[in-house]
Amino acid sequence: MTQSMKTIALALVLIAAACGGSKPAASGSKGKTSAMDAMGLTPPDSPWEAMSVADREFYMIGKVNPIMQELFAAHDAEEYGDFDCVDCHGEEMREIEFRMPAPSMYIVPPEGTPGHRGMLSTFPEEVKFMQEVVTPGMGKLLGIENYTCAGCHPSEAPKRKKAKKAAAPKRKRAKPKG
Ligand code: HEC
Ligand code: HEC
């Protein structure tokens, strides 16, 4: 092998290692290149709205997920040591084609309701982290201004059904105003 071929081969090995999605991340992730340092909270090259689903998935894998892994682990390494796609998209993510907000996510009640006050007293730390880090961070990564909780969390309970019907068609009923 020539020197440059060796360099490329090594780079490919490193990339393969970095992309080993199913492998658990090494526990002491210090010393690894930080995704945040390498890429930062910057928007995609082309507007999110204009990206194909395939490009969006690629962007999630290459940038959103690794950066969010770092943010969540920095917040609570024990709880979020193995943070991944599924934490935002839910177990059913492939069935629902990564649609957001995932119906299985924690429901954030509308502001001003007793439910919202209950959330604030039950999850003060989580809410602070969500407000100060996660929500603005996601907005920056997508290049979308005023990103809200509703980007990831449903704001009302899904219709309860005991038997899970596979991919129930969306209701035709108009959404409630506001
Ligand atoms: C921190 C939360 C978070 C993580 C982690 C995350 N995503 Fe996402 N993803 C989102 C949000 C939010 C959207 C929707 C953005 C919007 O349109 O407002 C999205 C959108 C997508 C879309 C586009 C769906 C569509 O139809 O437009 C795909 C595909 C996707 N994610 C795949 C993945 C994969 C694969 C991973 C893991 C490698 C991942 N995501 C990790 C939050 C996350
Ligand atoms: C980019 C996606 C994203 C956004 C935006 C977001 N969250 Fe979250 N939120 C998450 C993820 C991921 C978790 C952890 C889920 C888990 O434990 O697997 C979480 C957890 C929570 C929890 C803890 C729930 C529990 O059962 O432990 C609360 C409360 C919460 N979020 C509230 C909010 C509020 C309020 C906002 C808006 C200010 C918000 N979130 C915005 C992704 C998001």
| pLDDT tens sequence across 80-103 | 999 999 999 999 999 999 999 999
User: Which ligand 2 atom lies nearest to the CA of residue 135?
Assistant: 5
Q: How confident is the model at residue 156 (pLDDT cuts 50, 70, 90)?
A: confident
- Measure the CA–CA gap between 115 and 52, rounded to whole angstroms: 36
Q: How confident is the model at residue 178 (pLDDT cuts 50, 70, 90)?
A: low
What is the predicted pLDDT for the residue at 90? 96
Distance from the alpha carbon of residue 12 to the mean position of ligand 2, in angstroms: 35
What is the predicted pLDDT for the residue at 33? 87
- Is the C-beta atom of 55 inside 6 A of ligand 1? no
Indicate the helix (H) or strand (E) that contains 67.
Answer: helix 65-75
What is the predicted pLDDT for the residue at 158? 65
Distance from the alpha carbon of residue 153 to the mean position of ligand 2, in angstroms: 7
For the residues 108-130, what does the mean pLDDT come to? 96
- Is the C-beta atom of 102 inside 6 A of ligand 1? no
- Measure the CA–CA gap between 89 and 98, rounded to whole angstroms: 6
3-state secondary structure 139-166: HHHHCCCCCCHHHCCCCCCCCCCCCCCC
Flag whether pLDDT at 26 surpasses 50: no
